Amino acid sequence: MRVMMILPALTEATSPLFRPIKYSLFPPLGLATLAGYLPADAEVTLQDEHVTRLRLDGPVPDLVVIQVYITSARRAYQIADHYRALGSYVVLGGLHVTSLPEEAAAHADTIFLGPGEDTWPQFLQDWRRGAARPVYRSTTRTLTHLPPVRRDLIQRQCYLVPNSIVVSRGCPHHCDFCYKDAFFAGGKSFYTQTVDAALAEIDRLPGRHLYFLDDHLFGNRRFAEGLFDGMTGMGRLWQAAGTVDSVLAPDLLERAVAAGLRSLFVGFETVNDTNLAAQRKRQNVGRDYAAVVRRLHDVGVMVNASFVFGMDDDGPDVFDRTVVWAVEAGIETATFHIMTPYPGTALYERMQAQGRMLHRDWDLYDTRHVVFRPHGLTAGQLEAGYWRAYRDFYRWGSIWRGASTKDTLRGRLRHLAYAGGWKKFEPLWNVVIRSRQVLHALPLLEAVLSGFGERRPAEPGRHRPERVAELVG
């Protein structure tokens, strides 16, 4: 049986002139997970168009498996149509297929809704006896007894962070704009591996650095504590995502740091409380964002702050206010997004009901284009402000100002190297990407994360626990 698994890319990631480093960060973990269920005698190829030019001209596969994100949907359908015309059996799954099954079904023999751990093995059995169904809908959610992820299919040298890992799925929260509730409809929307299985998966990963892609690694306290305690002493250095309230929770952050956490992606989303309430981002409402950043910095964790522009209470001043706040707080890196209502989300339904969606050109649903009619500012102001926010945040002057909030020379250097490294050396990254040796830059990332060799232990005295209790309480 010949199987081809494909992660198509959005147009920007395949540009012959310039490829942003973000597309060479993580390997296609979802497909490598599904590959684990294939029989041992299957001849499997895994192609990621973000890092390689797709080979569609080889021997015709029996089964073609494509993962579809909204921004790569057009490309995914093109590839699907190509292989169906050649006689392959084509299956589509992933977030966009789950949001818009009818659209996807027109390009597939079988589609999958939701996560694949329950439906995919069932399909493989059915397909081999010639009885595959047109639609498989996930309902049983568990991560127990997973086969090992087929990391051998990943071209490690093409990624800066080949050791990306997920040990849970989903998240306990319900923000209006998030993909999560639509994707996990019909079953549990937050569940974890067992701590032992997660630790075993970590043990299988070579090297030192890890990146947890979990939506909310801290979401289940018992699991997180077990994981962090189990990782302590492994000598790992890692990055992850967490929410504002989990950072403020007493003690959990310290355990994560002891286990090797050095940078955290935090969804601040907006510096405006009215917006937070409107988007049901309740876990952020009323939180002291400055205290969140201080607490992370105090334990030596760098902050990657995520912000969304264009919520209904945003006016033209939102860009400057956000950037000034982020720079003054000493945030190392920031990711800005134009609010993008994804089909299937509560936000999309609301915008649609209000007649505010502008078009369905999914290529432009990339969080860099305005696809809805904003309220407090024009679409032009929103796009221009978004680009200006990036420029202003990553000016050398701002990076320097952010760095100077750190109280040690080492801290300042780490800030300069990390913030400058991502955005100021994009052309250099482009050359490295083209040489297909991105992995060689990993020791540099590790050096910066570790503060150039510094192993800064969590110092309980520096966390101002009484202040934290006040904030959480």
Does 226 interact with ligand SF4 (rule: CB under 6 A)? no
The Cα 249–Cα 385 span in angstroms is 34
User: In Å, how far from its chain's centre is CA 221?
Assistant: 21
What phi, psi does 7 have (nearest 5°)? Answer: -110, 100
Tokens encoding 83 = 């292989």
Strands 261-269 and 237-242: parallel
We find the least distance from the C-beta atom of residue 69 to ligand B12, in angstroms, to be 4
Cα–Cα nearest to 289, from 318, 267, 312, 321: 267
We find the least distance from the C-beta atom of residue 114 to ligand B12, in angstroms, to be: 7
What x/- string results for residues 153 through 172 when contact with ligand SF4 is judged by CB under 6 A? Answer: ------------------x-
Tokens of 204: 């299988």
Which residue, 114 or 267, is less far from ligand SF4 as judged by CB?
Answer: 267
- State which residue, 8 or 344, has the beta carbon closest to ligand SF4: 344
Q: Does 178 bind ligand SF4 (CB under 6 A)?
A: yes
Residue from 48, 215, 332, 366 binding ligand SF4 (CB under 6 A): 215
Q: Is 242 in the site for ligand SF4 (CB under 6 A)?
A: no
Contact present, 164 and 211 (Cβ < 8 Å): yes
Binding site residues, ligand B12, CB under 6 A: 7, 9-10, 13, 22-23, 25-26, 28-30, 33-34, 65, 67, 69-72, 91, 93-96, 99, 112, 115-117, 120, 166, 178-179, 213, 215, 342, 366-367
- Three-state DSSP class for 166? coil
Count of residues engaged in binding ligand SF4, rule: CB under 6 A: 10
Going from the C-alpha of 467 to that of each of 196, 302, 324, 407, the distances in angstroms are 34, 20, 24, 20
Shortest CB 360 distance to ligand B12, Å: 13
**95 contributes a contact to ligand SF4 by CB under 6 A:** no
| Among the listed residues 14, 47, 110, 243, the single contact to ligand SF4 using CB under 6 A | 243
Least separation in angstroms between CB 92 and ligand SF4: 23
Task: Supply the minimum distance, in Å, between the C-beta of residue 81 and ligand B12.
Answer: 16
Q: Could you tell me whether strands 168-170 and 190-192 are parallel, antiparallel, or unpaired per DSSP bridges?
A: antiparallel
Name the minimum Å distance from CB 465 to ligand B12.
31
Task: For residue 223, give Cα distances in angstroms to 42, 195, 233.
Answer: 35, 6, 18
Question: Degrees (nearest 5) of the Cα angle 253, 257, 263?
Answer: 90
Q: Which of ligand B12, ligand SF4, none is residue 173 near (CB under 5 to 8 Å by kind)? A: ligand SF4
Check: CB of residue 116 under 8 Å from CB of residue 65: no
Q: Which is nearer to ligand B12, 211 or 416 (CB)?
A: 211
Task: Give the shortest CB-324-to-ligand B12 separation in angstroms.
Answer: 23
Applying CB under 6 A, does 175 fall inside the site for ligand SF4?
Answer: yes
To the nearest 10 degrees (0 to 180), the angle between helices 379-393 and 318-328 is 20
Token digits for 429?
A: 């990254």
What residue 284 binds from ligand B12, ligand SF4, none (CB within 5 to 8 A, per partner kind)? none
- Can you tell me which of 19, 50, 107, 180 binds ligand SF4, judged by CB under 6 A? 180
Q: CB–CB of 279/311 below 8 Å?
A: yes
Which lies closer to ligand B12 via its Cβ, residue 74 or residue 424? 74
Helix, strand and coil in the chain, % to nearest 5? 45, 15, 40
* Cα–Cα distance, 325 to 179 (Å, whole number): 27
**Which of 173, 287 has the CB closer to ligand SF4?**
173
For the CB of residue 174, give the shortest distance to ligand SF4 in the complex, in Å: 6
What is the sign, positive or negative, of the torsion defined by CA atoms of 332, 333, 339, 345? negative
Of 222, 227, 296, 225, nearest in space to 266 by CA: 296
Closer CB to ligand B12, 72 or 458, in the complex: 72
Burial class of residue 389, CB neighbours in 10 A (0-12, 13-18, 19+): buried
Task: Kindly tell me which of 69 and 394 has the beta carbon lying closer to ligand B12.
Answer: 69
User: Cα–Cα distance between 339 and 344 in angstroms, integer?
Assistant: 15
CB of 115 to ligand B12, least distance (A): 4
Q: Which does 341 bind (CB under 5 to 8 A by kind): ligand SF4, ligand B12, none?
A: none
* Position among 267, 343, 374, 402 found at the interface with ligand SF4 (CB under 6 A): 267
Residues that bind ligand SF4 (CB under 6 A): 171, 173-175, 178, 180, 215-216, 243, 267
